[in-house]
Structure 1
Amino acid sequence: MTGESYIFIAGASRGVGREIAKCLIQQNQKVTALLRGEASRPELEAMGVKVVMGDALDSAAVEQAILTNEPIQAVISTIGGLPKDGQRADYLGNKHLIDAAVKAKVDKFILISSIGSGESAVALPPQAMETLRSVLIEKEQAEKYLMASGLNYIIIRPGGLKSEPATGNGFITENYKVAGTIHRADVADLTCKCLFSDPANNKIFSAIDRMQMYGDAEVEEFSL
């Protein structure tokens, strides 16, 4: 890891992306964040994050943000939307980020997806699947596109997200049948650990809090 390279985050304006940016800055990593709007810019810059403006749905803007002279060590994307949002970034925005990362020869791409995507659909109750179906279809498309890109990838599918402080009980597992909830700060902590874990490369994980699992199945935790 050279001191010159940096981590590029899409989705750092709020939620998990903001927590990941905070986690990386605390580890003295250089972080650049792609922002669509100015609202969260002052707070991110005060944290020490370099901000570039652009909409992930605009492929030219994404290329301009990523294809710079500064080497990017990894791209982390937490972007997505709710079913009511019309044209969402879940697939198209992530496709643009993946395409630009390939062109920039980025070493690793971490995609924050969701339990319920792909084969993990079996972990959600039918009612939840129905509500989230349109979003989860796009998330699965993004996952498949990333896996076919040739990039080193890590896909993390969190369970239901909470905004309370980290518990330290978050974990990842390759068991796609697991379900539960997890705090956003714990997802961020797991993501930062995955970033520097070669054994995690090219794997898909579910992420939940071991004290907030649904059911009592024995689940093997992935060691980071």
Structure 2
Amino acid sequence: MSLSLAGRLPSEVAIVGGNGQIARALAALLAEDGGRVRSIIRSEAQADALRELGAEPVVCDIETASADEIANAFGDAEAVVFAAGAGPGSGEARKWTVDRGGAIKSADAALLSGAMRFLQISFIGAEQQAPAGGDPVFAAYWDAKREADEYLRSVALDWTIVKPGGLTNEPATGRGTVSVSTMERGGKTRRADVAHVIRLALAHQGTVWRDLSVVEGGTPLDEAIDHALAEAQKAL
């Protein structure tokens, strides 16, 4: 599946959290485009599978590494995609050290390395406060992601925040609904389609300094992004 790009993809992209499902799908897409991919991972045990996708694995634990060390891991990448997360089964503490701390250090590292294009995966509604009375671990995740997004918006990077709905594992459709405005929670988004949105956003200058919410829908994703950006221009 090849969706039309609005511009040039960065020649080299570093993907933080390179062993995640979205990250692996994105690495394969970018490699198919002929780009170089540096997949930042915690363990050498994950490396061979990433090489098979066409990526160069780089071991760097963002939870314990400094921003300088993460910058070194980025190498000559022009762009960074933050796709890391503490994941299911982790407690409150790791939501702060990975989902917030790792994201903030990665943004700082991008500034240090000169990788000025930065895309971060968040979720629809992250800008709001976590609902009261819910699961404390999920509340910590919500708060950590909101603060990570707020930090990214404050730094001098060409950022985009990609905000899917509830993630599912069905095959990519290449279609969806995209908005730069706040969406209601409750929609679903296929992980494989999130990878397509990130690829398209990397090449689209109009997505810089934007939040892109994406859920399932019937419009080709390249057209859905163009439509969302056009609607945002009309609203100015």
**With structure 2 as the length reference, what TM-score do the two structures score?**
0.80
* 2:87 is equivalent to residue 78 of structure 1: no
> Paired residue for 2:54?
48
What CA distance in whole angstroms lies between the structure 1 residues aligned with 2:87 and 2:17? 14
* 2:151 is equivalent to residue 142 of structure 1: no
Distance 1:43 1:82, change over 3 A: closer
Q: Residue 83 of structure 1: CA displacement?
A: 6.7
Q: RMSD value over aligned CA atoms?
A: 2.7
**Could you tell me which amino acid in structure 2 is paired with residue 75 of structure 1?**
V
Gaps of 5+ in 1: 212-219
* 2:23 is equivalent to residue 9 of structure 1: no
- Structure 1 residue runs of 4 or more that deviate by more than 4 Å after TM superposition: 1-5
Gaps of 5+ in 2: 1-6, 219-225, 231-236
- State how many pairs are aligned: 210
> Paired residue for 1:165?
171
**Could you tell me which amino acid in structure 1 is paired with residue 115 of structure 2?**
V
- Match of residue 134, structure 2, among 123, 130, 136: 130
For the 8 Å contact 1:171–1:209, the answer to whether it is kept is yes
Distance 1:74 1:4, change over 3 A: closer
Q: Residue 66 of structure 1: CA displacement?
A: 2.8
> Paired residue for 1:27?
33
Q: Residue 167 of structure 1: CA displacement?
A: 1.5
For the 8 Å contact 1:178–1:206, the answer to whether it is kept is no
Distance 1:166 1:68, change over 3 A: closer
What CA distance in whole angstroms lies between the structure 1 residues aligned with 2:211 and 2:74? 31
- Match of residue 95, structure 1, among 74, 80, 104: 104
* Identical columns (%): 26
Q: Residue 49 of structure 1: CA displacement?
A: 0.7
